[in-house]
Amino acid sequence: MTIHKEGYKTIAWGAIIFGLINIISFYFLSFSMPILSTLIFIVTLGLLIFLISFFRVPKRTLTIREDAIIAPADGKVVVIEEVQADEYFNDRRIQVSIFMSPLNVHVNRNPVSGEVTYSQYHKGKYLVAWHPKSSTENERHSVVYRKNGKEILVKQIAGALAKRIVNYLQAGQKVEQTDEMGFIKFGSRVDLLLPLDAKIHAKIGDTPQGGVTVIATW
């Protein structure tokens, strides 16, 4: 396991705050209220460990398949439905939504190899990620991949806790399946908009692994 580069600064600040709180606690409380001082140490250490674990990048055997659309994120499948596309496409698509809790790995990966034909950031709200309108009203970044004449759209969507979406892709860029596309900090959601003829392998309630689990084939 390694730590993602997006976490270096956040973890550094977390460690500094952890150190300051416990230095103050030790100086003022360790002799008069040792139980409280110990409790503060345990709680702040737990928070620091959680912060570090949030930016973890576990070692995995990633899935490379020409006919497959791979999960772009860890999480839980909360939506599989046919929808009218509201961005880039003007036809109907199959939407697969993956909800990411703060406990999930938050690296986002390319679901397919191909060319990035669209990459657009949108300002927006911070509704909870499972809210039906979060796909269209929340802060988000949308990317369209083209492969063999077919296109899919992936949305990184901010949630109530997620205040920063990072995306590394630009239109015209050639990308490889399972390489990193970005990162969302502190829990959110990723939507895929797939062609209607894609064969969906995921089910509601599934817990895919980003870069590993086959969501659909085409």
Q: DSSP string of 89-158?
A: --SEEEEEEEEE-TTS--EEE-SS-EEEEEEEEE--B---TTSTTHHHHB-EEEEEEEETTEEEEEEEEE
CA 211 – CA 107 distance, rounded (Å):
9
Going by C-alpha positions, the residue among 123, 165, 164, 117 that lies closest to residue 144 is 117
Task: Output DSSP code: residue 7.
Answer: G
Residue 188 a catalytic site member:
yes
Going by C-alpha positions, the residue among 187, 202, 74 that lies closest to residue 138 is 187
Would you give the distance in Å from CA 212 to the centre of its chain? Answer: 14
Count of residues in the chain: 218
CA 76 – CA 99 distance, rounded (Å):
5
- Which one is catalytic: 25, 97, 119, 188? 188
Cβ neighbours of residue 14 under 8 Å, at least 6 residues apart?
47, 48, 51, 52
pLDDT tens over the chain, length 218 residues: 799 888 899 999 999 999 999 999 998 888 889 899 999 999 999 999 988 988 998 999 999 999 999 999 999 999 999 999 989 999 999 999 999 888 888 899 999 999 999 999 988 665 665 555 556 567 889 999 999 999 999 999 987 665 678 999 999 999 999 999 999 877 688 999 999 999 999 999 999 999 999 999 98
What pTM, to 2 d.p., does this model score?
0.84
* Backbone dihedral angles phi then psi of residue 146, each to the nearest 5 degrees: -115, 130
**CATH class given for the domain over 68-217:** mainly beta
